Chain A
């Protein structure tokens, strides 16, 4: 911008960057503390290790001595979030296609229906699903409460709106002329969808899918009510560990999970570009 040459603007911009750094610092402070604590050798009080920050030394011991139950919870969470993501895409993409391309009465109401789960506080969703699963079990004997499937269903309920929103906004931006061009050149309807529409909305779908994964992977509030005792999710495990008996390998596992998420995002960014990711999951509430 030309007006950027004025000195006052420069000063204001620097102030702005200080502001951005403060926000980033705020976001990252607790994460850095946990990463720092993860390499602390730990001091022993009554035969139990306690971790400190700043670390009093450096060791990768905890990274190689992770409590087996903790590992299992990480695997459960990865499985759960993956299943939820796949389900949310399978539900969300067709829903968005129908909403954006179909013409039927009550279209706005159906669109609103797909946004509603995000307007309900998570604690309410958790309670509602717990009581529903109890009712279902009492009526039919199908035990969804405290099961992987039940938790999956509840998470699908809150994750699908992200994919619908992402795919929907991508479809809304798509020019109908592209389809018309393919059709008029003799492509079949299916081929047009396969080769024109789908590739164009795929990046946005990936973005929505990432948010679906994120919601399921980090949720405590819903999972706390629905998690199976023998297959506790990672966030619920961490929550319980902080409330009861702090597991010393937890900061190490948390750091590894954070690192893996970071790598995944870099990969996603390389593959599809962050801009699409954001446009997809962003302001759609």
Chain B
């Protein structure tokens, strides 16, 4: 019997090998190729020197424009993730505690909306916020904005675009987090005299923290690499790292520089992720956060 057992264990494990080789191979190979590219200077027209050099990294380090762009990217991602979290958290919680029928309809509608690719939503935003559109004219009449205000080209516009990328994911992810928290725990706390606010603060919040953190991180990573809103709503004025990477590739054919910026972005994102996981691990068992 023990032989059959060992046999079975062995066989299941084998199934993982081909997919792991495929994904692991791609991961290793692509990352190595572009890591290597970042250590070669560009000579123009997509040609790189064969000499190993730190020149690209030094250029990023010494050029205030690159550093500013990195700061802007992180600020944008941070602000938008925070704002989306504030919008989505109560909504997702309420939905998860309402009747399953209503919740499913609403969540299905949100998922359907995420099938609409971001450029289309961006087009909608451009039309909605166009200077002679009804919304802007209303805001002008109410003296909330000046007649010279232009939506496209502002930090706010890019942030709204980013928020559209993030919010549906945030609501659906948090919804599934709240669904995995048994309602009975809240009822028990309420029966023992906890106020509604106290139940939220002492029961729901701690239990949902690992899931919330992991959702926040997923979206933070997504937003640091987001590109469409910055390109279409930034009007060339909101230069995120993703935009610089795309420009150095498509416009200037600077593969080395593009790779360097990508490496720097990746490293920062990884650091933020590790720091957040460690921070939350101090509050909750780490296994829950990582799993």
Main secondary structure of the interface of A (DSSP, over half): helix
Closest to B232 in A: A242
B:186-203 near A, CB below 8 Å: 187, 190, 196
A220 → B minimal CB distance (Å): 5
B:230-278 near A, CB below 8 Å: 231-232, 241-242, 245-246, 249, 255, 258-259, 262, 265-266, 269-270, 273
Main secondary structure of the interface of B (DSSP, over half): helix
> Which segment, of B49-57, B59-67, B140-148, B212-220, faces chain A?
B212-220
Q: Contact at B225–A221, with CB atoms within 8 Å?
A: yes
Q: Contact at B117–A218, with CB atoms within 8 Å?
A: yes
B20 at interface by CB-CB < 8 Å: yes
Closest to B14 in A: A98
Interface residues on A, range: 35 or more
Q: Contact at A224–B127, with CB atoms within 8 Å?
A: no
Q: Contact at B109–A24, with CB atoms within 8 Å?
A: yes
- Choose among A120, A214, A251 the residue that contacts B114 (Cβ–Cβ < 8 A): A214
B239 → A minimal CB distance (Å): 13
B:84-126 near A, CB below 8 Å: 87-88, 90-91, 94-95, 100, 104, 106-126
> Which segment, of A41-49, A58-66, A130-138, faces chain B?
A130-138
- Which residues on the A side are within 8 Å of B112 (C-beta)? 258, 261-262, 265
Closest CB pairs A-B (n = 3): A121-B225, A30-B124, A98-B16
Apart from A116-B27, A160-B23, A257-B116, list 17 A-B contacts with CB within 8 A: A3-B196, A22-B87, A23-B171, A30-B122, A34-B123, A94-B16, A102-B15, A118-B218, A120-B269, A121-B242, A123-B227, A124-B245, A125-B30, A239-B119, A258-B115, A269-B104, A283-B215
Chain B residues close to A by CB (< 8 Å): 8-10, 12-20, 22-24, 26-27, 29-31, 33-34, 37, 87-88, 90-91, 94-95, 100, 104, 106-128, 133-134, 163-164, 167-168, 171-173, 175-177, 179-180, 187, 190, 196, 211, 214-215, 217-218, 221-222, 224-228, 231-232, 241-242, 245-246, 249, 255, 258-259, 262, 265-266, 269-270, 273
Query: 30 A-B Cβ contacts within 8 A?
Result: A24-B110, A26-B164, A28-B113, A92-B19, A95-B15, A98-B13, A102-B10, A102-B15, A110-B20, A110-B24, A113-B24, A123-B246, A127-B34, A128-B31, A132-B30, A134-B255, A221-B225, A221-B227, A234-B117, A235-B119, A239-B119, A243-B231, A246-B123, A254-B116, A278-B175, A278-B176, A279-B179, A283-B176, A283-B180, A283-B211
